[in-house]
Amino acid sequence: MKKTLFVAALALSTAMTTSLFAQERGGVMTFARYDGSRLIDPIYADRNPDIWMVGSLFDTLLRTSADSQSVEPGLAESYSVSDDGLTVSLTLRDGLMFSDGSDLTGEDVVFSLDRARDPDLSPWAGLLGSINEVSADGQEVTLSLASPDPSILSMLATFNTAIVSKDAFDAAEGATDQERSAAIFAAGGPGVGSGPFYMSDFEQGASMSFTANPHYWRMGADGDPLPYLDGVEFEIIPDDATRILRLQAGEVDAAEFVPFSRVAELEADPDINMELFPSTRIIYAPINTRDTRADGSPNPLADVRVRQALNYAMNKDALIQLVLQGAGQPMSSPLMAAATQLSADLSPLYAYDMDRASSLIEEAGLPEGTEITFTTLAGSADDATVFAALQQMWAPLGIELVVQQVDNPTRGAMNRSGEFDIHTYGWVNDVNDPSQVVGWLGYNPTAQAVGTGWNDDEFNAIFEAANVEIDPETRAEQYRQLQEMYADAAPLLFMWETPFAVAVSNDITGYVQTPLGNNLFEEAQVTR
Amino acid sequence: MFRNVQVGGLRYILTRLLLMIPTLFLVMVIIFLLVRLLPGDPAIAMAGDRASDAELEAIRERLGLNEPMLVQFWLFLSNTLQGDLGRSILMRAPVTQTIFDRLPTTLLLTFLAMLLSLLIAGPLAFVAALRRGRIADTVIRSTFQVGLSTPVFYLGLLLLTFLAAGLHWFPVGGYGDTFVSNLYHLILPAMTVALYTSAIIMRNLRSAVIEVLDAEYVQFARAKGLADRLILGRHVLRNALISTVTLVGLSIGNLMSGTLVTETVFAVPGLGRLMLEAIFARDYPLIQGLTLTFAVLVSLVFLLTDLFQSWLDPRMRAT
C-alpha cells in the first residue's frame, strides 16, 4: 500500500479560499472569547481555549483537509506509509522558517514529536503510543512504529504534534520542560512556532494579541504569503450577553459561543453575519448501566430495554426546537458526530415512537412510579429545559424523573464514581479520527465507557483490532459494526449535534472554526 | 496628655493587628476544610473529564492531594507564613503573583464603587431626612427600594445595554490599558455595585439623621439659636455618621462579593472573576489564597473603620 502524494502548496491554498474578490491585506481583527488561554503549547494544551488556538501559532507536518475526511501536506510537502504500516516517511518543504526567521529543520521535528509522545510531559502522549522512534536526515523525517497505526497520519495533523523550535526551548530559562514552556509563553514574541501568527502580547484573563508571521509558508490567493491580516486581538468576555453587546456596539469584530437562543435575533441583524460552523460536537447523556446503583439499590437502567425505551420516548425534534431553536440535528451515529471520519448514518436513530417505548417498558416489567434521577448542570438553561421536557415525555412510561443540580467538577466526579442515573455531557473531537471518541464513549478500559459502566467484550475486541487495522475498508467495516452494537445497547441517550455559533461583523470574511473547534484566522480578511 | 493619646492609639492599632492573627488562622482552617468538602476533584477539573485514572492519580500525587489532611494543612500553613501560597493549578503560576496581578483592579473597582455609593447616598439621605414624609423623601426612598431589590447582574446588563451599547457613553466591558482608560472602563461596573450599596447606606443614614435631628442636644442647639448650617455640620453630620461608618465598613464585604458578579458581567479581569474561575476549576491553592486575601482586606477595612469611628466619637477610645 505504498502511497505517495505530492500536492502543490499554491493550488491547495487557492482551493481553500472561497472569495472571488480581490484579497484585502492588512488590518487587525478583534475577537471576543468566552474564556482565555492559559498556555498555548502543543503538548500542554489541555483545555479547548488553549487547544483551539495552537494552530494559529504552530504548524503541523500534515493538515486536515477542508472536508475533514483526509489529510493533506503541511510542513511536510509529501508523505508515505510503508506497506507493512510500520514506517511513515515525510519530506519537509524547502526553506521553512519559524516566525523569527530561523530555520525549521528535521531536528526540530524530532524534538517536537519526542516531546509530544513523552508520557511524563504530555497528557496526549497516549495518542502517539504507536511511535517507536522519530529520526531525521536533512529534509527527510522517518517515524518507526511499534505496530501499524491507522490514525497516525491524522495524528500528524493534530495540534499536539505541532512543531516547536528546539533552539527556543534550549535557550529558555527553566529546569524542566514545563518551566521552559511557561517562560517562552510568558515572554511572547516570535520564534517558538511557525504558524501563521506569533503571540505578541498576553495578559492573563484579559487579552491576547497575535501578530502576522512574515515567514509563513502558505500563499494567499494573491500569490503572497498568508495571513492577510496584520494581527488578531482577543478579549475575554465570559458573559454571553456582554460579549454579544460588544459586537453589536461595534467594539469587536466577532463573538464566539453565541447562545442558540440569540441566533435568530443576530441573523436578523444586517451588520452581523451569524455563522453556524459544522462541528463534531455532540450532546448526549450517559446512562448508568450497572446492575446496582452506587447506593446498592437495584438499577432499573441496567435493563437495555428500559434504556432503549427512554431513547424512543425522547422527542428529539421537539427538544432541538426548544433548546437550540432548531440550530442542531439529531445524532445520526450513536458514537460520533456525522462530520467524524467513518461515521455511519444510522438515522433516524431511535425516532420518536411512544408505542414502541411503552411496549419495551412493559416487556421489562418496569414498575409504575419508578424514580430516575436526572443530574443537570446548575445554572444551565439548556439542561433545565431538557429535564423539564423529558419529565413530561417519560411520564406516560410510568417514570418519575427527579432533578439533581450540580456544578461541572461535581458532575465529572459523579460520572467517574458512577453515582448518577442519567446526566448530560458534551464532546468535541480533538483528533480527526474516530478512535478517540469511540474509545471514550464505548471502550470500557478508557473510562468505563463514559462512566456508564457498559462493558461489552466483543465491542472492546473489535475496537482494539480496529486500532491496528491499516486496511481502510476493513477498518470502516469494523467501525460500522461498533456503531450498530452501540446503538442497540443504548448506554446513552442519543441527543444531538450542535454547530459552533460565531457572530461575525460584516467587515470580516474568511474566518473559520473547524469541526474540531480550531479557530482559523489565516485566511480572514478585514474591509473597513 | 496629647502624647498619651497617641501612644494609646498606637497600642490600640497594634492590639488590633495582633488580633487579626487568630482571625486569619481561623479563616485558613475553615477555607482549607471547606475547599476539600466541595464535591468534585481538582485532578479531574485540571486534566479534564477525559483523563484516564492513571493520569488523575499522577496529578493527585504531584499536587500532594494524596497526603494526609493534617500534613496538607501544615504545608499550607507553613508555606503561607513564608509568603508562599503555592502554585495555581489553573493559571500554572504562583498564586501570589496571580493575585497581585489582579489585586489593583479589584481595589480600584471597590474604591470607586464605595466612593460612588457615598456620593449618591450621602446628599440624598440628608435631603430625604430633612424633607421627611414629603414628596422628595418618598421619591428618593422608593427609587432606592427598586435599586435594592434588583439583582446586581441584571442591573449591570441594563446599564450596559442602555448607557454603553445604546448611547455609547461607556465601553461595553473590558478594562483598558492606561490608568485613565481603566477608570473609564470601571465606571459602569462600579456604578452597578454602588447602586445597590448606596441604597443600604442611604436608608441607614436617613434614619440616623432623623434620629439625631430629634435628639435633645440638637433641639438644644436650635434653642440656643445656632444657624442650621452649623447644627447640621457640627452636630447632625458627625453623630449620624457614627453608625453609618460601621455600615460602610461592613458593606466592604458586600462590595467585594459583588465583584464576583460584576467582574464577570463587565469582563473586568479582577479577583472576583478569578475566584469564580478558581472555584469552578477546584483550584485549591488559588481559592485558599484568594480567600485569605479577601480576609486580610476586610480585616484591614474593619480596623480602619474602628479608627475612624473612634476619631468621630471619642467615647469609643476609652473602651
Res A174 pLDDT > 80: yes
Vertex B299: Cα angle to B298 and B304 (nearest 5): 95
Share above pLDDT 70 across residues of chain B, in percent, rounded to a whole number: 93
Q: How far apart are CA B234 and CA B229, in angstroms?
A: 8
With CA atoms as reference, report the closest residue to B268 among B158, B163, B156: B156
pLDDT at B317: 60
Sequence-ordered alpha helix ranges (H) in A251-365: 263-267, 304-312, 316-324, 354-364
ipTM of the complex: 0.75
Could you say which DSSP state residue B162 is in? I
Half-sphere exposure of residue A434, counting CA atoms within 13 Å on the CB side?
29
pLDDT of the residue at B284:
85
Inform me whether the pLDDT recorded for A2 exceeds 50.
no
Chain A contact present for B208, CB below 8 A:
no
> Residue A360's pLDDT is what?
97
Calpha distance A167→A431 (Å, rounded): 28
Among residues A76, A81, A192, A195, which one has the least CA distance to residue A141? A76
More confident: B228 or A338: A338
Contacts of B266 in chain A (CB under 8 A): 239, 242
DSSP at A367:
P
Give the pLDDT band of residue A21 (cuts 50, 70, 90): low
Q: What is the pTM of this model?
A: 0.84
Instruction: Label residue A308 exposed, middle or buried (CB < 10 Å: 0-12, 13-18, 19+).
Output: buried
pLDDT at A13 (0 to 100): 42
| Average pLDDT, integer, range B99-105 | 91
Mutate to test the interface with A, among B41, B49, B87, B282 (most CBs of A within 10 A): B49
- The pLDDT of residue B303 is 84
Q: What is the mean pLDDT of residues A479-495?
A: 97
Residue B6 confidence class, pLDDT cut points 50, 70, 90: low
Helical spans, DSSP H, in A7-125: 9-16, 48-57, 106-116
Backbone phi, then psi, for A68, in 5-degree steps? 70, 5
pLDDT at A314: 97
C-alpha distance from residue A62 to each of A4, A92, B185 (Å): 13, 10, 44
Interface touch A205/B274, C-beta < 8 Å? yes
Record the cell numbers describing residue A483, joined without a space: 456503531
Highest mean pLDDT: which of A486-500, B4-18, B49-63? A486-500
Measured in residues, chain B has a length of: 319
Q: What is the mean pLDDT of chain B?
A: 82
User: What pLDDT score does B24 carry?
Assistant: 87
When scoring A204, A240, A416, A430 by the number of chain B Cβ atoms within 10 A, the one with the most, hence best to mutate, is: A204
Would you put residue B147 in left (φ > 0), alpha (ψ -120 to 50) or beta? alpha
Residue B68 and residue B70: Cα distance in Å, rounded?
6
Which whole number is the average pLDDT over B301-315?
Answer: 79
Residue A53: its pLDDT value, please? 97
What pLDDT sits at residue A15?
A: 43
- Range A311-331 average pLDDT: 94
pLDDT of A500 strictly over 90? yes
For residue B168, which residues of chain A lie inside 8 Å, CB to CB? Answer: 249
- The whole-number average pLDDT for the span A453-470 is 95
Interface probe for A, chosen from B60, B92, B170 (most Cβ of A below 10 Å), is B92
Which range in A410-419, A470-479, B122-131, B152-161 is most confidently predicted, on average pLDDT?
Answer: A470-479
pLDDT at B1 over 60: no
Q: Is the pLDDT of residue B2 over 70?
A: no
- Cβ neighbors of B271 (< 8 A, separation 6 or more) are B99, B102, B103, B105, B106, B256, B259, B263, B290, B293, B294
User: Could you tell me if A19 lies within 8 Å of chain B, comparing CB atoms?
Assistant: no
pLDDT in tens, B49-82: 666 677 778 778 877 888 888 888 888 888 888 8
Contact between chains at B48 and A248 (C-beta distance less than 8 A): no
- Across A23-32, A42-51, B278-287, least confident range: B278-287
**Once rounded to an integer, what is the mean pLDDT over residues A503-517?**
95
How large is the average pLDDT for residues B227-242? 76
User: Which of B39, B52, B282 has its CB closest to that of A446?
Assistant: B52
Amino acid B141: pLDDT: 85
Per the prediction, chain A carries an average pLDDT of: 92
C-beta separation of A430 from A423 below 8 A: no
Give the pLDDT score at B316: 65
* pLDDT confidence bin for A14, thresholds 50/70/90: very low
Rounded to an integer, the average pLDDT of A303-316 is: 97
Taking 60 as the threshold, does the pLDDT of residue A16 lie above it?
no
Q: What is the pLDDT at residue A458?
A: 97
CA angle A378, A382, A386 (to 5 degrees): 100
Which grid coordinates are listed for A365?
A: 416489567
Q: Do B157 and A447 touch (CB under 8 A)?
A: no
Reported confidence tier of residue A65, pLDDT bands at 50, 70, 90: confident
Longest CA pairwise span in chain B (Å): 84
Query: Rounded distance, CA A342 to CA B277, Å?
Result: 37
- Given a cut of 60, whether residue A12 has pLDDT beyond it is no
Could you report the per-residue pLDDT of B265-303, keeping only the tens digit for each? 888 889 998 998 888 888 888 998 999 998 888 888 888
Quote the cell numbers at residue B235: 452636630
Is pLDDT at B143 greater than 90 in this prediction? no
CB A514 within 8 A of CB A499: no
pLDDT digits (tens, 9 = 90+) for A384-426: 999 999 999 999 999 999 999 998 888 988 998 899 999 999 9
pLDDT (0 to 100) of residue B252: 81
B265 to chain A, closest Cα gap in Å: 5
pLDDT tens digit sequence for A427-453: 999 988 999 999 999 999 888 999 999
Say which residue, A203 or A481, is predicted with more confidence: A481
User: How is the beta sheet containing A28-33 ordered, strand by strand?
Assistant: A197-203, A207-212, A231-236, A28-33, A254-255, A500-505, A272-277
Would you give the end-to-end CA distance of chain B in angstroms? 18
Number of CB atoms found within 10 A of residue B319's CB: 5
- The answer to whether the CB of A187 falls within 8 A of the CB of A83 is no
Residues A23, A62: Cα–Cα separation, whole Å:
26
Q: pLDDT band at residue A82, thresholds of 50, 70 and 90? A: very high
Q: Which residue has the higher pLDDT, B2 or A266?
A: A266
> Is A246 an 8 Å CB contact of chain B?
yes
